[in-house]
Amino acid sequence: MSELPQTTLSIEKTQGELEERELAEVRKLAAAAQEHDGNPPLSDQTLVALGSEEFSDKVFSLRAEQQADPGESTLVGVVAAVRDPQADSWVVELVVHPQHRQQGIASALVQRLGEELELSRIQAWAHGGHPAAKKLAEAIGLATVRELHKLRRESPEALEVPQLDRGSNVRTFRVGEDEPAWLAANAAAFADHPEQGSLTLADLDSRMAESWFDPAGFFLAFDAAEQVIAFHWTKIHPATGDSVRPLGEVYVVGVVPEAQGLGLGRVLTALGVNYLLEMGVGAVLLYVDAENQAAVSLYRSLGFTLWDTDIMYGPQPIES
């Protein structure tokens, strides 16, 4: 009987942008984890940061590789840390390949992360709120500080689209024309949102370069002065695993402060969901902060129900 080859684990740090080959490996690992877990382990913003020169001093990654034979290694785990200047903290995401779990790789990555950052001050996302992630977070002194609900709509029935106020109109995004107006509207709509509201033109360009981007599913609402006052950007995920149909996503819905209360969120959400259904998706998902009761109520009234929860772990509140 031959013995299994001995493997060694190495962890290397990359500051800033990953090389194209390295980023492709990270995406492949993340895709394997998503198919196994049902949740994407790395956010779009993290993947943008890992592939952009703009974030050179605001992002680093730790790559865990197993080596069985000299010169041959396999990427088995990744930690990505993105600087959040508003919170004076680092937002961290960790993923281990499903075939290499229960081998201490996550613990080794966290230990190595502790050599770079003060672990008690980081903010870490657990997509899907797995018990193992909770255990790991508690071990380094972190507690739940934010919950992001994942809602899902399974119905194939189209939604009723309320009539727009007189003077308003909706059309789809025009590449090369609407970027500045959308960025301004997005910043206004999400002024208090730590991730979405700070998107730059480089961030937008990176997303538009993704294979899933389709301007036909990016809806903009304009007022009588032709200013963008609301928007709904949709996304379609390819079918994976046992699914035979793609999955639609209410990627982001925003309304500028001066246009809130006009029902634009319902109008644009309905338009986007109906578009996704026309494109043949099997279901539609969205993410919403658990504390945003107005948005949760809107989405529930449109037939969305709770599917899963992403949890952010951070420093435990100091008791007064």
Looking at the structure, tell me whether residues 19 and 140 fall in a common domain.
Answer: yes
Specify if 45 maps to a domain.
yes
Q: φ and ψ at 72, to 5 degrees?
A: -120, 125
How far does CA 166 lie from the centroid of its chain?
35
Q: How many domains does the chain have?
A: 2
Specify if 93 maps to a domain.
yes
Specify if 2 maps to a domain.
no
- Token pair in block for residue 41: 């382990």
CB atoms within 10 A of CB 150: 20
Looking at the structure, tell me whether residues 143 and 30 fall in a common domain.
Answer: yes
**Per residue in 222-265, pLDDT tens?**
999 999 999 999 999 988 766 679 999 999 999 999 999 899 99
Domain range holding 227? Answer: 156-302
Give the pLDDT score at 54: 78
Looking at the structure, tell me whether residues 197 and 295 fall in a common domain.
Answer: yes
Looking at the structure, tell me whether residues 167 and 130 fall in a common domain.
Answer: no
pLDDT tens over the chain, length 320 residues: 444 456 789 999 999 999 999 999 999 999 999 888 888 899 988 998 898 887 778 899 999 999 877 767 899 999 999 988 776 789 999 999 999 999 999 999 999 999 999 998 899 999 987 888 888 888 888 999 999 999 999 999 999 999 888 788 999 999 999 999 999 999 999 988 767 878 889 889 989 998 999 999 999 999 999 999 999 999 999 887 666 799 999 999 999 999 998 999 999 999 999 999 999 999 999 999 999 898 999 999 999 999 999 999 998 766 54
Give the pLDDT score at 4: 47
Looking at the structure, tell me whether residues 29 and 82 fall in a common domain.
Answer: yes
Q: End of a domain among 148, 172, 199?
A: 148
Looking at the structure, tell me whether residues 21 and 37 fall in a common domain.
Answer: yes
Specify if 317 maps to a domain.
no
Give the pLDDT score at 2: 44
112: domain CATH number is 3.40.630.30
Specify if 318 maps to a domain.
no
Specify if 41 maps to a domain.
yes
Looking at the structure, tell me whether residues 27 and 82 fall in a common domain.
Answer: yes
Looking at the structure, tell me whether residues 170 and 135 fall in a common domain.
Answer: no
Specify if 32 maps to a domain.
yes
Looking at the structure, tell me whether residues 166 and 208 fall in a common domain.
Answer: yes
Looking at the structure, tell me whether residues 141 and 232 fall in a common domain.
Answer: no
Looking at the structure, tell me whether residues 197 and 284 fall in a common domain.
Answer: yes
Give the pLDDT score at 319: 57
Looking at the structure, tell me whether residues 123 and 162 fall in a common domain.
Answer: no
Global pTM value: 0.82
Owner of token pair 């290694």: 73
Specify if 192 maps to a domain.
yes
Q: End of a domain among 97, 131, 148?
A: 148
